């Protein structure tokens, strides 16, 4: 972890306006996250974790408040520049992998770099390097649904890493996995933060995993109830 702030959230509110009246889902959220920090967001179902993660990833907009990514006030960007920033800086991992089943593992992993227009040779080199790092290099020609859950999640992690993002956002990435496989996926994310200085923000219901992060942010009813800085935070 370095001292550089990679992500800053300022007075973030999010409400929805269904016919029955305004529902405030996130209330006055403020925090800063350092480059290479591993943060877990925990909280009861419906507390706003996924909503927050989607806004951090610029997939959704706040009602009021600002998000700075590397000091860029992201919601002042136009759609084109915002999509460019998202593709370059942010990787996403979801509970249910979100892979394309009719495409090969390799094709799934290449997608972010096809979108960003990277040349074929460079992106294939990078894909094989990342697959090797994650232990799935022998699976490149498989269709994802022939792989185990843990292997599919590694493919999703590989895809998230293809653009060399500074921030990886993971919404319950171990939620569909058994304990052992979930621990392995978690350890891979830890390795990314400690060895590659990738910032990881992970939503989880698993307290045994959360306590291995650098910090836990507890959400309750859309507010930060408390933050817990774990022992290694200042090391």
Q: Is 23 in the site for ligand ATP (CB under 6 A)?
A: yes
Any contact of residue 206 with Mg ion (CB under 5 A)?
Answer: no
Q: Which of 47, 50, 151, 174 binds Mg ion (CB under 5 A)?
A: 50
Describe the crossing of helices 149-161 and 179-196 by its angle, rounded to 10 degrees: 20
Residue 135 binds: one of ligand ATP, Mg ion, none (C-beta under 5 to 8 A by kind) = none
**140 touches Mg ion by CB under 5 A:** no
The answer to whether 216 contacts ligand ATP (rule: CB under 6 A) is: no
Of the candidate spans 13-21, 48-56, 113-121, 178-186, the one that interacts with Mg ion by CB under 5 A turns out to be 48-56
Buried b (16+ CB within 10 A) or exposed e, 17-45: eeeeeeeebbeebebebbbbbbbbbbbee
49 binds ligand ATP (CB under 6 A): yes
User: Residue 95, interface with Mg ion (CB under 5 A)?
Assistant: no
Indicate whether 173 belongs to the interface with ligand ATP (CB under 6 A).
no
> Contacting ligand ATP (CB under 6 A), which of 6, 12, 51, 156?
51
């Amino acid at each position: 972890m370095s001292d550089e702030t990679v992500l800053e959230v300022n007075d973030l509110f999010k409400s929805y306006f269904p016919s029955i009246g305004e529902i405030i889902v996130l209330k006055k959220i403020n925090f800063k996250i350092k480059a290479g920090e591993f943060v877990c967001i925990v909280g009861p179902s419906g507390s706003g974790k996924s909503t927050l993660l989607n806004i951090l990833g610029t997939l959704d907009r706040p009602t009021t408040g600002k998000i700075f990514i590397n000091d860029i006030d992201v919601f002042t960007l136009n759609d084109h520049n915002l999509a460019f920033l998202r593709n370059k800086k942010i990787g996403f991992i979801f509970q249910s992998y979100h892979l394309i089943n009719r495409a090969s593992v390799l094709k799934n992993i290449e997608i972010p770099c096809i979108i960003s227009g990277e040349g074929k040779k460079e992106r294939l080199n990078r894909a094989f390097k990342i697959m090797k790092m994650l232990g799935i290099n022998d699976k490149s020609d498989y269709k994802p649904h022939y792989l185990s859950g843990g292997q599919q999640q590694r493919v999703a992690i590989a895809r998230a890493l293809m653009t060399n993002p500074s921030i990886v956002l993971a919404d319950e990435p171990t939620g569909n996995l058994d304990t052992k496989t979930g621990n392995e996926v978690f350890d891979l994310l830890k390795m990314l933060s400690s060895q590659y200085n990738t910032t990881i923000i992970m939503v989880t219901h698993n307290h045994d995993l959360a306590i291995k992060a650098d910090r836990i942010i507890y959400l309750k009813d859309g507010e930060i109830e408390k933050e817990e800085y774990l022992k290694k935070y200042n090391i």
